[in-house]
Amino acid sequence: MVAGLVHGVLLARESAAAYSYWPVHNVAPADSNDSSTYDASAQVTYSLDDSSLAERWGVSKIEAPQAWQITRGDQSIVVAVLDTGISKDSQGLAGRVVTEVNFTDSPTCDDLYGHGTHMAGTIVAVAPECRLMNVKVADDTGRCEPSVVADGIVWAVNHGAQVINISLAMKASTDLEEAVSYAWSRGAILITAAGNKGGSEPSYPAYYVDCLAVAGTNEDDSLALLSSYGDWVDVAAPGFNIYSELPQNQYGYKTGTSSATAHVSGVAALVLSIAEDGNGSGAVNDEVRWAIENGCTTLAEDGVGYGLVNAFQAVTDMTS
């Protein structure tokens, strides 16, 4: 059995530099909330811990703070995280999960593996006012199946997700391709990881034309270690030593195209919150995709599509 061919694989792992360094923030315990739904009518203003933001070099690199002068996102925008679940005890994520569902044999929607929580943390670090949908498609050992991911995509779209974050890679699958096409046709935008194989071999669902395929970069804008690349990749974003939430209210670093994907999902949420259907297609996902790609900074690297995502340029493009 070869990982990534039979089962889907998660696309971020602990950064080497972080093995002995998982800082724990001193924060008050989050209110526990065992309900599976969140009161969408409640208006809450979120704030980022400045010390946390300082650790998140990727958020600064893509100029999200500059974008916040135009929009910090909107609580009506829901980003579905198709992953290992989202931990409810993470202080930075408390109250942000609008709804959740479990497609695995795990007894809980919570993240016992420590991947989905990290992605969710990066998404809301980029789009502070947006909300999350926890679609657990990978089990507590990090495994997922393409047909289950396909089911998760359809469920997310049917329950109001406008952005779908897929920090997973797996084999090609008719179910998966059909779910991706369905999501796009319903106006959602799919942000997907290019993969961590370090070559140009396609990953799925990222390879599908209706997905925005994301490669990972280092702080100096070079291609991150093991990031896949190729003419099928659409954009790049920070994917090395990314600091974010972990279960049990901890924080830590991960490296991979998973984290790059999460940054772009945050940008998509920001752009969506101000997007208009300029071409009268009946949806704004086409305008959002254009703004993200058009706003990129060209990189010297080959195989990274339009280049490095820039949140400020993307929201500026959408307003101009």
Active site residues: 83, 115, 258
Specify the residue, 234 or 245, whose C-beta has the smaller distance to Ca ion: 234
Specify the residue, 174 or 279, whose C-beta has the smaller distance to Ca ion: 279
For residue 202, whether the previous peptide bond is cis, meaning omega lies within 30 degrees of 0, is no
Name every residue whose Cβ is closer than 8 Å to that of residue 53 and which is 6 or more positions away in sequence. 59, 60, 65, 125
User: Smallest gap, in angstroms, from Cβ of residue 162 to Ca ion?
Assistant: 13
Query: Distance between CA 232 and CA 293 in Å, rounded?
Result: 13
Query: Distance between CA 76 and CA 79 in Å, rounded?
Result: 10
User: Smallest gap, in angstroms, from Cβ of residue 80 to Ca ion?
Assistant: 20
User: Smallest gap, in angstroms, from Cβ of residue 56 to Ca ion?
Assistant: 31
Specify the residue, 69 or 281, whose C-beta has the smaller distance to Ca ion: 281
- Scan for tokens 């198709």, then name that residue: 82
Query: Distance between CA 234 and CA 238 in Å, rounded?
Result: 14
Is beta strand 163-166 parallel, antiparallel or unpaired with respect to 189-193?
Answer: parallel
Specify the residue, 23 or 187, whose C-beta has the smaller distance to Ca ion: 187
User: Smallest gap, in angstroms, from Cβ of residue 6 to Ca ion?
Assistant: 38
User: Smallest gap, in angstroms, from Cβ of residue 280 to Ca ion?
Assistant: 7
Measured from the Cβ of residue 23, the count of other Cβ atoms closer than 10 Å reads: 14
CB closest to Ca ion, residue no: 281
Query: Distance between CA 103 and CA 137 in Å, rounded?
Result: 5
User: CA separation (Å) from 74 to 77, 122, 226, 303?
Assistant: 6, 16, 34, 33
Q: Write out the residues near Ca ion by the rule CB under 5 A.
A: 277, 279, 281, 286
